[in-house]
Structure 1
Amino acid sequence: MHRKEKGNVQNNFLCLFLFNPSLANSISEMEPNNSSKNCMIESFKKEFYPIVYLTIFVWGALRNGLSFYVFLQTYEKSTSANVFMLNLAISDLLFTSTLPFRAHYYLNSSNWIFGDLACRIMSYSLYVNMCTSIYFLTVLSVVHFLATIHHLQLLHDTSFRSAWTLYGIIWIFIMASAAMLLKSGSELKNNITTCLELDSQKLGKLLIMNHIALVVGFLLPFFTLSICYLLVIRVLLKVEIPESNLRASHRKALTTIIIALIIFLLCFLPYHTLRTLHLITWNKDSCGDGLHKAVVITLAMAAANSCFNPFLYYFAGENFKDKLRAVFTKDHLQKAKTKCSFPICVWLKTETRQ
């Protein structure tokens, strides 16, 4: 019994509109379903997914929650580049909030107890997180690439309104394209409530949808990101940059693209590749072969993208390190003032005014 694990047809923008809505529901977590509950892959998933999902939940919630807090505390002084990263943090926080429910599902032998609406939201959240992460990372890399050509002015000249308009369009487009996933929910089979498992009878059409999703949702962004990386390297090798500030800014642009590429290579490339191979070679009589287990593992890696994105904020965010220290320093001073005795507090206020 498979749970259509990872809103994977994640970026299925075109195919969700080109095919039957019921197929769109099936493609969210494109992992063919085995008919036997005793299948070894079910045991593997029961042991593997809960540990991984709960680990991702704790790590992702803490890191992205802290990043989100820093971005909000310094929002008025931040740049448009940090607006891009703030959207990534929002997407990751929304996704990580669903992981405890997924962990429980597998611990409960793939029996869904949280209701039909929650099941629809789970699949929907997977789709939205994966495709928003892919496209936000791509747009951020393109913006940094253009900034290296225009001497970093683009990052500072782009208004908040323009940045939010662009990301608003992306959010609306992705959420609208994923709305089909909300039309189908849990199913009762043999006294077990499954959550949006794949209908293997529609495998042929799902293969077509998968190929469209692979091209539109992964290959195009990945090639765009790779081209940006190569062109940035070319620009940096050709141009002599005398000012130290410009050199640091160009290094930051390169760092942004490199981190985005690493996330693509670790999280998205393995899953998209193995998912496609699994669908092409799938046999209904197969039960937990090596490729199937590999798909399960790479699916967890794709979910872990929410844990890697905070590294992007820390190493490539506009003054993120300084803002993080400022937030912690501010909080520390506030706690110290609230805990101090009255005479000491008066002395602190007097000293800070001098």
Structure 2
Amino acid sequence: MDWMTLAGVYLLCIFYAVAEVIICVLGIAGNGLVIWIAGIKVKKSVVSTWYLSLAVSDFIFCSTLPFIVVYVVNKDWPFAFFMCKFRYFMLWLNMYSSIFLLVIISVDRCVLLMFPVWARNKRTIRKATVIVVLAWIIAAVCSTPSAVFRDIRHSTYKQQTTCIHKYSYMKNYIATVTCRFVSSFLIPFLIIFICYVLIIRKLFNQRVRYKKPLKIMTVLIFAFLICWLPFHTVLLIKVHKKYVSITIQHFSFILVSANSCLNPFLYAFMGKDVKEQLDKVNMGNVVTQMGAIELSLIQILYCMRSSCILHRHLC
């Protein structure tokens, strides 16, 4: 490499590290605040159960980001063999659980608006807890291949250790990546999209003022699409042995990471009970400023107003 190339790689590493550190700090702060409010301050409900579990998932994910930052900056895996497997298992566990919970929240909102009487009688905290536990179990099962097929490789020539995926057969790797794309992006996105289309149609038919909910739900859909589509696109390209620049790979993972610190502001902090608790502890302005910083990370140019989603129906 010439010095220009080395300088470019160095700047890329700095940009990636700084971006992930910012996301880590904002994600831990935002999700930690949601955990405190939804778990302690707010009266337990079905909605608070969703938000609490989503916040726990995103909090754990953001807490593990420093491992990746150290790995990328040093170009060397300084941790133990167990941590190689554990880190990537936790990475996918929290990705899956977070995505599944976003789907659950979308379906719950849709059912609550489409079938209000049935939802009032059937939606219980106990059932919500069971659904959350099942979502985590399924997420753990889906994440297992990430741990099973992870290994450490030592290079005496380069004097470095790498944490790599190691499949005996290429077809196993292709099957894993394809299943991940279908189960953690394609199907969840379709479900979320359909749910919000049904919600908008219902509001329109009832002649409810829907401009503000429409903007919010558009942001939710596009945030999911923007954060996850590049990541899965990169994986699908790589599985066919096509070259993907390291810059694009880093940027796609930054978007995925950003989703975990955006969720508290896209979901929890829009809720009526959560906003009331924030006002009590004078945190409203802080949350607004943090939300503005996080939204700018992925250049979503929508104005996120402090209004309750679909008014009292979906809070």
Quickly say closer, same or farther: Cα 1:212–1:186, change in 2 above 3 A. Answer: same
**92, 98, 104: which one pairs with 2:70?**
104
Quickly say closer, same or farther: Cα 1:185–1:106, change in 2 above 3 A. Answer: same
Shift of 1:235: 0.9
Tell me the equivalent position of 1:150. Answer: 115
Tell me the equivalent position of 1:326. Answer: 280
Quickly say closer, same or farther: Cα 1:124–1:155, change in 2 above 3 A. Answer: farther
How many percent of aligned residue pairs carry the same amino acid? Answer: 27
Q: Which structure has the larger Rg over C-alpha atoms?
A: 1
How many Å separate the matches in 2 of 1:296 and 1:201? 26
Matches within 5 A, 1:138-287: 138-151=103-116, 154=119, 158-183=123-148, 184-190=150-156, 191-195=159-163, 197-199=164-166, 202-240=169-207, 257-280=217-240, 282=242
How many Å separate the matches in 1 of 2:110 and 2:153? 47
Q: Deviations over 1:253-278 (max 9, x none)?
A: x6774443133122112221233234
**252, 256, 260: which one pairs with 1:298?**
252
Tell me the equivalent position of 2:96. Answer: 131
Quickly say closer, same or farther: Cα 1:46–1:96, change in 2 above 3 A. Answer: same
Where structure 1 has 5 or more consecutive residues not aligned to the other structure, the ranges are: 1-37, 242-246, 284-288, 330-354
Shift of 1:204: 4.5
Count of equivalent residues: 276
How many Å separate the matches in 1 of 2:112 and 2:40? 26
Amino acid at match of 1:187: R
1:57 aligns with 2:16: no
1:118 aligns with 2:115: no
Quickly say closer, same or farther: Cα 1:281–1:106, change in 2 above 3 A. Answer: closer
Contact 2:151–2:165 under 8 Å retained in 1: no
Shift of 1:313: 3.5
How many Å separate the matches in 1 of 2:278 and 2:101? 22
1:85 aligns with 2:44: no
Indicate the RMSD between aligned Cα atoms, in angstroms: 3.0
SS at match of 1:114: coil
How many Å separate the matches in 1 of 2:121 and 2:272? 10
Where structure 2 has 5 or more consecutive residues not aligned to the other structure, the ranges are: 284-315
SS at match of 1:53: helix
Tell me the equivalent position of 2:309. Answer: none
Quickly say closer, same or farther: Cα 1:214–1:41, change in 2 above 3 A. Answer: farther
SS at match of 2:221: helix
Amino acid at match of 1:228: C
Quickly say closer, same or farther: Cα 1:153–1:68, change in 2 above 3 A. Answer: farther
How many Å separate the matches in 2 of 1:201 and 1:52? 35
Quickly say closer, same or farther: Cα 1:71–1:217, change in 2 above 3 A. Answer: same
How many Å separate the matches in 2 of 1:114 and 1:194? 10
1:47 aligns with 2:14: yes
SS at match of 2:76: coil
Q: Deviations over 1:74-95 (max 9, x none)?
A: 24x1321121011010001111
Contact 2:27–2:261 under 8 Å retained in 1: yes
TM-score by length of 1: 0.69
SS at match of 2:240: helix
Amino acid at match of 1:194: T
Matches within 5 A, 1:331-342: none
Shift of 1:146: 0.7
How many Å separate the matches in 1 of 2:170 and 2:11? 23
Contact 1:137–1:260 under 8 Å retained in 2: no
SS at match of 1:282: coil
Quickly say closer, same or farther: Cα 1:151–1:84, change in 2 above 3 A. Answer: same
Quickly say closer, same or farther: Cα 1:206–1:180, change in 2 above 3 A. Answer: closer
